[in-house]
């Protein structure tokens, strides 16, 4: 074991380039850092900043097209640039553990997680056939997996996202590596589960493991990191102690990232700087009163095992005109099912839905169809939302045609693109050629082109980087103000909901457990579940409680 | 950057060999198509000129593939037979594709009852070997070229139906179909505009791969005397005619057999090539 002031990993002037069809691309340029036992370095940056490539270099998994150069790249004094494949295998898992974002694809689908973790132990000669089961159970228990004996016999797809991530961490630390790399370990998870995973990583750090944490979210790393390096376009633009970087950032880019964290800012503040969409004053009549009324709605489904399960139980609420109602809950709590019923894509078993003071559920499709344009959807996976063969012009044009708009389609589509902050140069692009943020803006443009009164947003920002998420949240707030839209905003992220919404509805296991104005509910949560949600919001200020909040 | 590592696209020895095989496959398909369209260009000798004097002669400069028991030129008969073998393959695949896509789309979109019925029949028919079903149909319709096309086409419908249903289900539940519904469009219009174009490309590729199998099935039925009737030069019936003389001369049996084999391999290799090229970016392929 190296002493605390001696780095386990030392990286000097690391440069990684990729040979591609379009020539040479530099993913990482001149990056240097050290990892110390029992300390955590967080590398923070947006998609494409080179942070993941940097992490992969330490386990020799940059791929055959990569050209890795460094004046120094050592693990415990051993030069990593000269390792053979065989030597790399003894480094991976044994000396450097690696936890990836997507635990479902990182775990072998045809082996139990017990076998997966057991293999890590056996490969490195740390357990025998006789002792391996006990070791596996002990590791799972240490990773706070409840009922480890039973879980060890299950397959990855039988576990929830949080349990999978824990199993993955258990297998990564099975061989007691000195270094643990976690690449976006919590990005796909609920806030509550995210908090638990971060705690688990913190425990590893406390035991003397050197931790390299990769994330796009400064609020997530705030709790764990001792040191933060901010990466952009393959370079480290700012580094320092976590406190210094979070409290007094010096680089413009770091300030922008900090400003994008919704939980750190009071309501009504813009997260991403000046507005990107063009303000347009609505010409529609102002609607008042409730636009969506959901009355005691229930829905159950028969699962693949033939057992009927209730997804939504007796849910009632009203969305008032011009308001934003947040619908919060963990995955599987029935939020999306409620949204699907509000959109009239699914019939409730009991109860009723009214839209714009008109009966909506239980109606013949021919009666409902002419009014569908009044309630539009922006959904979670932006790439799945568009016909891959269509151009941007045709995508938005489809909405225009649906409400009977004729005339110069290109001009009208351009107007809608401008309103959501997209350039008309994108008119002839196809969805695959757009970034995640552009796709989500396009989804909003298409929904708006139908000139709706209500917009249902199902996790519209959960697949986006924090900085892009900030822009989309700003855009939605602007559109509400300009067009008098009413929004049903579904999210698992209370930070986002607190920032954007007027009212909130907390769902757990298909039931509404708490409802009310967002500030009231979050300040004094009455229900246990809401309390745990509120406690789990990653906050930068929590990391340094004695200091006042970040000012930007 | 959370995307996975790039896969190397180095040109290795193996892939280079594949390119040679590919070129040969496409070349052979080209020749077959030419033979089917203008047989006289490739084989000026008439395929049915009987000359007992030179019956069963082995390959020579005058008759490169030799002659059969009636003294007809085997090469000429193979070239002229391409029209029938390809015709049976294309015709039956077209029938299977059309009916399969129709049933598959109906199954995926027309509600639970239609889906259950279609899926049940599809599963039952898939349990039988295709050739057995084709034989059954020919037994009902009687022998003949058109009937063989219908028989093979019908017997291949279940496979196409199942594949279409799977594709259509994915598109039906996609975000863009859902978005079109919330825009208030009618379902038939949505299925025509979004579902069919997005479900079709993999099926067209499957159809190219299937061509080879359909040609074999056609030859098999002809071999049994159920296809084009004598003296039509069909490859399968040539095989059948030659088997009586197998202990005297090999070429009248082996050469048509080789041609069938080469045709099947070529269509399979070419179909795989198409799939490899378009898979993953299918939507771009159908602009």
Could you tell me if A412 lies within 8 Å of chain B, comparing CB atoms? Answer: no
Considering only CA atoms, which of A178, A176, A226, A172 is closest in space to residue A197?
A172
Q: Mean pLDDT for chain A?
A: 84
From chain B, which residues contact A within 8 Å (Cβ)?
A: 1-3, 5-9, 174-176, 178-186, 194, 197-198, 283-284, 286-287
Give the gap in angstroms from C-alpha B20 to the nearest C-alpha of chain A.
23
Considering only CA atoms, which of B34, B43, B25, B48 is closest in space to residue B83?
B34
Probe site for chain A from B173, B176, B280 (most A CB atoms < 10 A): B176
3-state secondary structure of A35: strand
Check A384 against B176: CB less than 8 A apart.
yes
Euclidean distance between CA atoms A442 and A438, whole angstroms: 6
Check B197 against A389: CB less than 8 A apart.
yes
Please say whether the beta carbons of A411 and A397 come within 8 A.
Answer: no
Please provide the DSSP assignment of chain B as one string: --SPPPPP----HHHHHHHHHHHHHHHHHHHHHHHHH-HHHH--S-TT---GGGTTPPP-SSSTT-B-TT--BHHHHHHHHHHHHHHHHHHHHHHHHHHHHHHHHHHHHS-HHHHHHHHHHHHHHHTS-HHHHHHHHHHHH-SSHHHHHHHHHHHHHHHHHHHHHHHHHHHHTSHHHHHHHHTT--HHHHIIIIIHHHHHHHHHHHHHHHHHHHHHHHHHHHHTT-SSPTTS--HHHHHHHHGGGTTT-SHHHHHHHHHHHHHHHHHHHHHHHHHHHHTT-HHHHT-
Distances in Å between the Cα of A135 and the Cα atoms of A81, A92, B110 are 33, 19, 54
State pTM to two decimals.
0.76
Give the gap in angstroms from C-alpha B164 to the nearest C-alpha of chain A.
18
For the stretch A448-488, pLDDT in tens is 898 899 999 988 887 788 888 888 888 888 888 888 889 99
Q: Which residue has the tokens 């539940």?
A: B173
Q: Which of A370, A379, A385 sits opposite B184 (nearest CB)?
A: A370
The complex's ipTM works out to 0.73
Euclidean distance between CA atoms B106 and B15, whole angstroms: 41
What are the pLDDT tens digits along chain B (287 aa)? 333 333 333 444 455 556 788 889 999 999 999 988 988 888 878 888 788 888 787 888 877 888 888 888 888 899 998 999 899 999 999 999 999 999 999 999 888 899 999 999 999 999 988 889 999 999 999 988 999 999 999 999 999 999 999 999 989 888 899 999 999 888 889 998 899 988 888 888 889 889 989 999 999 998 888 888 878 888 888 888 888 888 888 888 899 999 999 999 999 888 888 877 766 544 433 32
Q: Scanning every residue of chain B, which has its alpha carbon at the shortest distance from the alpha carbon of A341?
A: B182
Distances in Å between the Cα of A36 and the Cα atoms of A6, A10, A282, B96, B118 are 7, 9, 57, 66, 64
Please provide the DSSP assignment of A79-110 as one string: EGGG--HHHHHHHBTTTEEEE-S-HHHHS-TT
Euclidean distance between CA atoms A175 and A290, whole angstroms: 58
Helix (H) or strand (E) holding A118: helix A113-123
């Amino acid at each position: 074991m190296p002493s605390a002031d001696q780095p386990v990993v030392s990286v000097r002037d690391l440069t990684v380039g990729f040979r591609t069809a379009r020539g040479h691309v530099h993913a990482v340029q001149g990056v240097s850092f050290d990892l110390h036992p029992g300390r955590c370095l967080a590398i923070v940056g947006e998609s494409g900043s080179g942070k993941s490539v940097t992490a992969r270099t330490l386990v020799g998994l940059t791929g055959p097209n990569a050209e890795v150069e460094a004046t120094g790249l050592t693990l415990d004094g051993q030069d990593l640039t000269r390792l053979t494949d065989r030597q790399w295998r003894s480094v991976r898992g044994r000396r450097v553990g690696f936890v990836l974002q997507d635990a479902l694809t990182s775990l072998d689908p045809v082996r139990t997680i017990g076998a997966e973790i057991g293999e890590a132990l056996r490969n490195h000669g740390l357990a025998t056939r006789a002792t391996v089961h006990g070791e596996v159970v002990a590791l799972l228990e240490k990773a706070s997996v409840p009922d480890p004996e039973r879980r060890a016999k299950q397959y990855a797809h039988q576990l929830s996202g949080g349990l999978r991530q824990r199993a993955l961490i258990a297998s990564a630390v099975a061989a007691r590596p000195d270094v643990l790399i976690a690449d976006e370990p919590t990005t796909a998870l609920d806030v509550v589960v995210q908090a638990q995973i971060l705690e688990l990583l913190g425990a590893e750090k406390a035991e003397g493991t050197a931790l390299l944490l990769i994330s796009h979210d400064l609020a997530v790393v705030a709790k764990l990191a001792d040191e933060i390096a901010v990466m952009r376009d393959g370079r480290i633009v700012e580094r320092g102690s976590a406190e210094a970087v979070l409290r007094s950032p010096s680089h413009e880019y770091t300030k922008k990232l900090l400003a994008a964290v919704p939980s750190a800012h009071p309501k009504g503040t813009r997260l991403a700087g000046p507005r990107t969409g063009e303000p347009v004053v609505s010409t529609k009549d102002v609607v008042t009163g409730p636009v969506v009324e959901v009355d005691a709605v229930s829905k159950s489904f028969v699962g693949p095992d033939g057992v009927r399960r209730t997804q939504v139980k007796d849910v009632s609420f009203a969305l008032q005109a011009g308001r934003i109602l947040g619908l919060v809950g963990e995955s599987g709590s029935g939020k999306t099912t409620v949204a699907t019923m509000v959109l009239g894509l699914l019939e409730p078993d009991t109860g009723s839905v009214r839209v714009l003071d008109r009966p909506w559920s239980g109606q013949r499709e021919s009666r409902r169809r002419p009014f569908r344009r009044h309630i539009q959807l922006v959904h979670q996976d932006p790439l799945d939302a568009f016909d891959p063969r269509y151009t941007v012009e045709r995508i938005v044009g489809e909405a225009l045609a649906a409400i009977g708009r004729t005339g110069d389609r290109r001009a009208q589509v351009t107007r809608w693109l401008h309103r959501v902050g997209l350039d008309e140069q994108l008119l002839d692009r196809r969805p695959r050629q757009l970034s995640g943020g552009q796709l989500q803006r396009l989804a909003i443009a298409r929904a708006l082109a139908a000139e709706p009164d209500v917009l249902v947003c199902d996790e519209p920002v959960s697949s986006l980087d924090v900085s892009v998420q900030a822009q989309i949240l700003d855009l939605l707030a602007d559109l509400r103000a300009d067009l008098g839209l009413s929004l049903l905003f579904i999210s698992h992220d209370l930070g986002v909901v607190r920032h954007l919404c007027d009212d909130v509805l907390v769902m757990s296991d298909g039931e509404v457990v708490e409802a009310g104005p967002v500030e009231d509910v979050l300040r004094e949560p009455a229900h246990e579940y809401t309390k745990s949600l509120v406690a789990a919001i990653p906050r930068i200020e929590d990391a340094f409680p004695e200091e006042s909040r970040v000012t930007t | 950057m959370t995307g996975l590592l790039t896969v190397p696209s180095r040109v290795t020895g193996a892939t280079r060999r594949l390119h040679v095989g590919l070129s040969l496959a496409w070349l052979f398909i080209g020749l077959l198509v030419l033979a089917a369209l203008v047989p006289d260009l490739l084989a000026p000798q008439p395929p049915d000129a009987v000359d007992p004097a030179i019956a069963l002669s082995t390959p020579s400069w005058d008759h490169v593939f030799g002659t059969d028991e009636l003294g007809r030129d085997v090469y000429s008969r193979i070239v002229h037979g391409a029209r029938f073998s390809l015709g049976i393959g294309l015709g039956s695949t077209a029938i299977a594709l059309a009916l399969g896509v129709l049933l598959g789309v109906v199954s995926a979109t027309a509600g639970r009852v239609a889906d259950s019925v279609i899926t049940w029949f599809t599963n039952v028919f898939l349990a039988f070997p295709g050739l057995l079903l084709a034989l059954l149909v020919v037994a009902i319709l009687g022998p003949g070229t058109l009937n063989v096309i219908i028989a093979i086409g019908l017997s291949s419908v279940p496979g196409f139906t199942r594949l279409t249903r799977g594709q259509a289900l994915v598109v039906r539940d996609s975000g863009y179909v859902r978005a079109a519904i919330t825009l208030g469009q009618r379902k038939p219009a949505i299925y025509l505009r979004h579902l069919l174009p997005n479900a079709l490309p993999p099926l067209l590729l499957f159809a190219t791969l299937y061509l080879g199998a359909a040609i074999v099935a056609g030859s098999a039925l002809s071999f049994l005397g159920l296809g084009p009737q004598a003296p039509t030069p069909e490859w399968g019936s040539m095989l059948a005619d030659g088997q009586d003389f197998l202990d005297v001369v090999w070429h009248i049996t082996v050469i048509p057999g080789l041609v069938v084999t080469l045709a099947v391999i070529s269509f399979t290799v070419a179909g795989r090539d198409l799939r490899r090229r378009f898979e993953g970016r299918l939507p771009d392929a159908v602009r």
